[in-house]
Chains A and B, each alone.
Chain A
């Protein structure tokens, strides 16, 4: 049973560029949430997708956007990258109606130079 998979594992970008991160949820799950984890901090909620719609959003600017596909996979897009966007980006999947227990991928480590 495949768990949550994320790609790429590492990414280096320069300020002002755009980036797309990808996530495939655990088999049987239909809900994807994205989190940003800065070094030494806990994960911070970016947004959640269910039925291809953004259902809830955290305190992140519009530069952060997402998409969910019919097969439940998801993308996180960040435009106009800033140095402060350097972090581990985590994807978590769950079953809508049982959103308490999250299954996380290993994340994408984004470095902005």
Chain B
């Protein structure tokens, strides 16, 4: 069964304290791995798509990487406005266009 597991469930950082969020996935042929950001009371907002192991994408203080079993979202020198829930998701080849989400990591950045 296709599955996405994220860790940690919650992460508390001081402003400027860099860290990484983990996403482990099991999928029968990866079409794509996605990262979304979700603010309270809002829908998820698309951040990145990764397609193959070794691929990296960057956006401001965020950098996503991909291996054959995991993806990491690295946050460099975070600011309070980076506080949100970060969701990892996958689509499987042969699985249509169903997107399977993990439970997310809630990030809190304190000034």
Q: How many residues of B contact A (CB 8 A)?
A: 23
How many Å lie between the Cα of A56 and that of B98 in the bound state? Answer: 7
The tally of CB-CB contacts under 8 A between chains A and B is: 59
- Map CB proximity to B onto A14-54 as digits: 1 under 8 Å, 0 otherwise: 00000000000000000001010000111111001000000
Which of A55, A101, A102 gathers the greatest number of chain B CB atoms within 10 Å?
A102
- For residue B54, CB closer than 8 A to chain A, the reply is no
Binary interface encoding of chain A residues 86-109 relative to chain B, with 1 for a CB under 8 A from any of its CBs, else 0: 000010101000011111111100
Q: Which residues of A contact B103 (CB under 8 A)?
A: 40-42
In the bound assembly, the distance between CA atoms of A100 and B51 in angstroms comes to 11
Tell me, yes or no, whether B100 is within 8 Å of chain A by CB: yes
Q: Decide yes or no: A100 and B87 within 8 Å by CB, A48-B98, A105-B43 being known contacts.
A: no
A58, B79: Cα distance in complex, Å: 37
- Chain A's closest residue to B96 (CB) is A56
A100–B32 CB distance below 8 A? yes
Which of B31, B97, B98 has the most chain A CB within a 10 Å cutoff?
B97
Instruction: Check B91 for interface membership: any CB of A closer than 8 A.
Output: yes
